[in-house]
């Protein structure tokens, strides 16, 4: 149970100790460097403006007791006072809607997702600069790292496994790559 503060001019301040959870539609076009716009609407469903009226103390949200998240940062948070007349009723209903602009902190995703993908992409391109001799060392160095991942993928995902070509039919998939891949598989 919470207490309400009653002032001499008839105003009542009620500060309920609560944690509000909300969801908003997220646009991940620029993930992990994205910024989201979310809103929370507070109002009464039972009392109209004649019985209860809402008032903002400040235009911005008080973030003094806010615990910073490791994944999101609040860029801006403002509240607006609105009134609306619904089709069902003759009365006007007030609400206060808070708009939050939050930005994702990309450090975790940069270290664990972007940098490894870039390194693997660069190493994949650099493999083509290796000499194309027929020695076992160069063939196993070029082909060897790819074979375990392809074989383990076929064992992890049974739906994809039958679709992968076996060792002898790789030449039908790509005639230029086939002879180089067949020799270590025999």
Same domain, 91 and 141: no
25 contacts: CB under 8 Å, gap ≥ 6: none
Provide the b/e sequence for 89-98 (b: ≥16 CB within 10 Å): eeeebbeeeb
State mean pLDDT over 77-86.
93
Residue 63 forms part of a structural domain: yes
How many whole angstroms separate alpha carbon 109 and alpha carbon 34? 12
Residue 185 forms part of a structural domain: yes
The answer, yes or no, to whether residue 104 has pLDDT greater than 90, is yes
**Which of the two residues, 22 and 105, has the higher pLDDT score?**
105
The answer, yes or no, to whether residue 180 has pLDDT greater than 60, is no
The answer, yes or no, to whether residue 166 has pLDDT greater than 50, is yes
- Supply the mean pLDDT for the chain: 78
How many whole angstroms separate alpha carbon 46 and alpha carbon 43? 9
Same domain, 36 and 92: yes
Residue 123 forms part of a structural domain: no
Q: How many domains does the chain have?
A: 2
Strand partners, 104: 72
pLDDT at 169: 46
Domain that holds residue 150: 133-161+178-186
State mean pLDDT over 147-159.
48
Same domain, 84 and 14: yes
Same domain, 60 and 152: no
Q: Percentage of the chain surpassing pLDDT 70?
A: 70
Tens-digit pLDDT profile for residues 2-23: 788 899 998 888 888 888 888 8
Same domain, 186 and 138: yes
Of the three residues 63, 87, 105, the one that is the final residue of a domain is 105
Taking alpha carbons only, the member of 1, 95, 114, 116 closest to residue 44 is: 95
81: CATH: 2.70.170.10
Site of tokens 């615990």: 67
Same domain, 9 and 97: yes
DSSP letter string over the chain? Answer: ---EEEPTTS-EEE--------------TTTTS-EEEEEEEEE-SS--TTT-----S-SB---TTPPPPSSEEEEEEEEEEEEEE-TT-SSEEEEEEEEEEEEE--HHHIIIIIHHHHHHHHHHHHHTTS-----HHHHHHHHTTHHHHHHHHHHH-TTTGGGS--GGGHHHH-TTTHHHHHHHH-
């Amino acid at each position: 149970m919470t207490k309400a503060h009653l002032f001499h001019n008839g105003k009542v301040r009620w500060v309920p100790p609560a944690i509000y959870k909300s969801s908003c539609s997220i646009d991940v076009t620029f993930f992990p460097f994205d910024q989201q716009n979310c809103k929370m609407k507070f109002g009464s469903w039972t009392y109209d403006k004649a019985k209860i009226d809402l008032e903002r103390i400040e235009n911005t949200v008080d973030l003094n007791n806010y615990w910073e998240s490791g994944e999101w940062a609040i860029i801006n948070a403002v509240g607006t006072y609105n009134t609306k007349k619904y089709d069902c009723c003759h009365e006007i209903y007030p609400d206060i809607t808070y708009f939050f602009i939050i930005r994702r902190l990309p450090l975790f995703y940069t270290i664990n997702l972007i940098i490894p993908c870039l390194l693997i992409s660069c190493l994949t391109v650099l493999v083509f600069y290796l000499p194309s001799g027929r020695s076992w060392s160069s063939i196993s160095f070029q082909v060897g790292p790819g074979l375990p991942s392809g074989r383990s993928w076929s064992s992890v995902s049974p739906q994809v496994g039958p679709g992968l070509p076996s060792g002898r039919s790789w030449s039908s998939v790509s005639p230029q790559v086939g002879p180089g891949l067949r020799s270590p598989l025999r």
